[in-house]
Amino acid sequence: MNAKHSTLIGKLSLLVVAMFAFGYALVPLYDVFCDITGINGKTASEPVSAEAAIIDTSREITIEFIARPNQQMPWIFRPEVRRMRVHPGEIHIMNYLAENPTGRAIVGQAVPSVSPGQAALFFHKIECFCFTQQYLAGGNDMLMPLQFYVDPALPAQFSTITLSYTLYDVTSQWQDSGQDTATEFGE
């Protein structure tokens, strides 16, 4: 095999490796892209500070709450109310009821999604049970609070925002992390 071939093969093989890496690089790129643009209904996973702006009393936004456990998740999980009407800028608290009907402790993680996706950037959570994993001993129930406000900068085209939570059983990952749980999250 002559040198001309080897150089070209080297370059082409490098391209192959680079494209394989690019496939994996798409994973973080996708997350960053969704974070910046807020598309895909992904809300921020960090709390925002409560220094809310002026309350815009000129309009009301309907917030719909959807909550469902994932198929493998045995908890009963629902919002206290299905919908509420809020003024942009107003801070509200919404409680979600979680009940573990099984005989064993289960750790849950809620994953939020906002629809329409473009409104996700304007839905701010000051405090949310979805920021951390939630521990619940068998046979117990608890109220999980969500504190939020709608950004007054929300474009006028949005009059309804749907916030959906899917609750996943992450007990296996919790045990892996080896934290002491029961004391931190009481019933």
Partner 1 sequence: MSTVTTADHHDEHHDHKPTGIKRWLFTTNHKDIGSLYLIFALAMFFLGGAMAMVIRLELFQPGLQFVDPQFFNQMTTMHGLIMVFGAVMPAFTGLANWMIPMMIGAPDMALPRMNNWSFWILPFAFLILIISMFLPGGGPDFGWTFYAPLSTTYSNDSTALFVFAVHIMGISSIMGAINVIVTIVNMRAPGMTWMKLPLFVWTWLITAFLLIMVMPVLAGVVTMVLTDKYFATSFFDAAGGGDPVLFQHIFWFFGHPEVYIMILPAFGIVSAIVPTFARKKLFGYASMVYATASIAILSFLVWAHHMFTTGMPVFATLFFMYTTMLIAVPTGVKVFNWVATMWRGAMTFEVPMMFALAFIVLFTIGGLSGVMLAITPADFQYHDTYFVVAHFHYVLVSGAVFSIVAAVYYWLPKWTGHMYDEKLGQLHFWCSLISVNLLFFPMHFVGLAGMPRRIPDYALQFADFNAFVSVGGFLFGLSQLIFLWVVIKCARGGEKAPAKPWEGAEGLEWEVPSPAPYHTFDTPPQVK
Rule CB under 8 A: which residues touch partner 1?
Answer: 1, 4-5, 8-9, 12-13, 15-17, 19-20, 22-24, 26-27, 30, 34, 37, 39-41, 70, 109, 111, 115, 117-118, 166, 168-170, 173
Nearest approach, Cβ of residue 30 and partner 1 (Å): 5
Q: Which two tokens stand for residue 5?
A: 């071939």
Query: Which one, of 53, 52, 88, 78, lies nearest residue 146 by Cα?
Result: 78
Report helix, strand and coil shares of the chain as percent, to nearest 5: 30, 35, 35
Nearest approach, Cβ of residue 182 and partner 1 (Å): 22
Dihedrals φ, ψ of 75, to 5°? -60, 155
Nearest approach, Cβ of residue 109 and partner 1 (Å): 7
CA distance 118 to 83: 20
Query: Which one, of 67, 65, 60, 41, lies nearest residue 122 by Cα?
Result: 41
Nearest approach, Cβ of residue 118 and partner 1 (Å): 6
The nearer residue to partner 1, 79 or 112, going by C-beta atoms, is: 112
The nearer residue to partner 1, 12 or 54, going by C-beta atoms, is: 12
